[in-house]
């Protein structure tokens, strides 16, 4: 009897490099990147900076480190960043922004991770000397992971930009999945770049690279972040091997994200979630029995994850084919 491979929908970080990506990695030209001598890293950084219309970019080991250094480039110790309450920087970076950078956070709540500009306005705190924490930055996440891969419309990003510029506050964009937003909304990447002072983008999620994120911003920001990256132990040597995977992913794995989005809508329907709520590759299912749902799905060859006591998350990605998505949908529909 043949045993079918489980369909793994726990995360889009689970992808394994394809043969073609491995070949690109194996033949990458490399040098010591701490010396600034890795030509493949330099090509990746230059390409990503241009894609977003910024001056420079810096290759990072993880999205978390990239977010930490991006936020610290905008917010001094003792100042605050405002963000949505379930933002990755607030919920899933283990307090790094406080632990390493002395940054405090205040949050607004939106079930779809959107920008509530009225609330942001009311949260904003100008410099009030020795009395209140000063708001130095606002961070937004596009797409928003824990809000089910929801996109932030360009219009609301532009309104936020206008408000932030007016009050002298800067904007960080956590674009771990900006590629999904770009493909789903058809918004040029450079338009997203234009609303942010600094961004973090990941190659290791939907794009299917094994490792890697980039901090994107001004030349000065990147020069300083390079020092901090080394200080935090993130100076990498012949890392062109990994940058080559990123370059390959940018060439071959962006447009295909539309398939992941279609697969996510298929899974949503099977789970009784309105597909109109699925903007990209993540489906959030509310289940009071989340843990037993996960177990029952696993018993039938479909791996899903809980991201809260009553929340199940399904994520489609490069290693989930149409056939896998259909198989998973038929299993989940019975649960």
Map the footprint of ligand PLP across residues 153-192, applying CB under 6 A: 174, 176
Residue 139 beta carbon to ligand PLP: minimum distance, rounded to whole angstroms? 10
By beta-carbon proximity to ligand PLP, the closer residue of 7 and 147 is 147
User: Any contact of residue 145 with ligand PLP (CB under 6 A)?
Assistant: yes
How far from each other are the two terminal CA atoms of the chain, in whole angstroms? 25
By beta-carbon proximity to ligand PLP, the closer residue of 228 and 331 is 228
By beta-carbon proximity to ligand PLP, the closer residue of 115 and 329 is 115
Map the footprint of ligand PLP across residues 51-80, applying CB under 6 A: 62-64, 67
User: Any contact of residue 88 with ligand PLP (CB under 6 A)?
Assistant: yes
By beta-carbon proximity to ligand PLP, the closer residue of 273 and 315 is 315
Task: Count CB neighbours of 166 within 10 A.
Answer: 8
By beta-carbon proximity to ligand PLP, the closer residue of 66 and 187 is 66
User: Any contact of residue 141 with ligand PLP (CB under 6 A)?
Assistant: yes
User: Any contact of residue 15 with ligand PLP (CB under 6 A)?
Assistant: no
Residue 152: closest CA among 164, 165, 139, 163? 139
By beta-carbon proximity to ligand PLP, the closer residue of 62 and 300 is 62
Residue 253 beta carbon to ligand PLP: minimum distance, rounded to whole angstroms? 16
User: Among 105, 136, 178, 202, which residue sits at the site for ligand PLP (rule: CB under 6 A)?
Assistant: 202
Residue 215 beta carbon to ligand PLP: minimum distance, rounded to whole angstroms? 12
Residue 51 beta carbon to ligand PLP: minimum distance, rounded to whole angstroms? 18
User: Among 204, 221, 281, 316, which residue sits at the site for ligand PLP (rule: CB under 6 A)?
Assistant: 204
Compose the 111-140 pattern: x for residues touching ligand PLP by CB under 6 A, - for all others: ------------------------------
Site residues for ligand PLP per CB under 6 A: 62-64, 67, 88, 141, 145, 174, 176, 202, 204, 213
């Amino acid at each position: 009897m043949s045993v079918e491979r489980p369909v793994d929908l726990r995360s889009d970080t689970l992808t394994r490099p394809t043969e073609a990506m491995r070949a690109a990695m194996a033949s990458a030209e490399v040098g010591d990147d701490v010396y600034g001598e890795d030509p493949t890293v330099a090509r990746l950084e230059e390409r990503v900076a241009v894609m977003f219309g910024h001056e420079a970019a810096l290759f990072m080991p993880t999205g978390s480190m990239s977010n930490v250094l991006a936020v610290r480039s905008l917010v001094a110790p003792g100042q605050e960043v405002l963000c949505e309450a379930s933002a990755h920087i607030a919920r899933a970076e283990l307090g790094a922004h406080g632990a390493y950078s002395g940054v405090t956070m205040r949050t607004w709540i939106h079930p779809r991770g959107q920008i509530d500009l009225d609330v942001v306005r009311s949260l904003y705190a100008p410099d009030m000397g020795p009395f209140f924490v000063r708001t130095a930055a606002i961070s937004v996440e596009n797409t928003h992971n824990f809000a089910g891969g929801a996109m932030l419309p360009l219009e609301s990003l532009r309104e936020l930009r206008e408000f932030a510029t007016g009050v002298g506050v800067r904007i960080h964009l956590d674009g771990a999945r900006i590629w999904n937003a770009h493909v789903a909304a058809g918004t040029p990447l450079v338009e997203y770049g234009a609303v942010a002072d600094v961004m973090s983008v990941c190659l290791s999620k939907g794009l299917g690279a094994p490792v890697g994120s980039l901090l994107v911003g001004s030349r000065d920001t990147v020069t300083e972040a390079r020092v901090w990256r080394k200080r935090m132990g993130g100076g990498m040597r012949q890392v062109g091997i990994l940058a080559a995977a990123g370059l390959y992913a940018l060439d071959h794995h962006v447009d295909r994200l539309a398939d992941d989005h279609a697969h996510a809508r298929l899974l949503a329907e099977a789970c009784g979630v309105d597909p109109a709520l699925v903007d990209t590759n993540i489906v959030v299912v509310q289940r009071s029995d989340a843990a037993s749902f996960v177990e029952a799905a696993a018993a039938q060859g479909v791996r899903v994850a809980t991201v809260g006591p009553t929340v199940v998350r399904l994520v489609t990605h490069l290693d989930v084919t149409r056939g896998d998505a259909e198989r998973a949908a038929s299993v989940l529909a019975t649960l």
